[in-house]
Structures are given as structure tokens and as C-alpha cells.
Amino acid sequence: MASFEEKPYFPKAMESPCIKICTYDPRSGLCSGCGRTLKEIGDWFSMRDDERRAVMEELPARLEAIRQAG
């Protein structure tokens, strides 16, 4: 019998940058926990994998900019 994860109707786990510290920074327009915009957060589950990866690649620089502006 196939395990739970092997069944075709269960999608693979989706990577998320969320660290459960949801604080909106109005100066940057970003969440200071994950670095995403409110639109990106809202659209996350409907975005394609390549779109999510592109956002993920930008997050370290965004978070650093928030910290430096702090």
C-alpha cells in the first residue's frame, strides 16, 4: 500500500518563508518577519513554483534593507 505522501492527490509540501512573526512595516511595505509584500502573502498559494522561488531569492536583501532602515 502507498504511503500518505506517495498518493498522487496529495501535493508536495510548499515552501514558505513565513516565520510566524507577521509585522507589517509601513515604510517598506513588507512583512518584517518574512520580507514579502501583502500581495505576495495573499497570492502565495496560487503562485507557480517558479514565481515563489523568485520571491524567495529576493527576501534576504529585502529583510536586510528593513534592518538597516530600522
Contact 17, 59 (CB under 8 A): yes
Q: Which pLDDT value is given to residue 8?
A: 58
44-69 burial string, b = 16+ CB within 10 Å, else e? beeeeeeebeebeeebeebbeebeee
At residue 63, what is the residue type?
L
**pLDDT at position 5 over 60:** no
pLDDT digits (tens, 9 = 90+) for 7-58: 555 556 778 999 999 999 999 999 999 999 999 999 999 999 999 999 999 9
Contact 59, 34 (CB under 8 A): yes
Question: Which candidate, 46, 61, 53, places its Cα nearest to that of 11?
Answer: 46
Q: Which pLDDT value is given to residue 46?
A: 93
Q: Which pLDDT value is given to residue 70?
A: 76
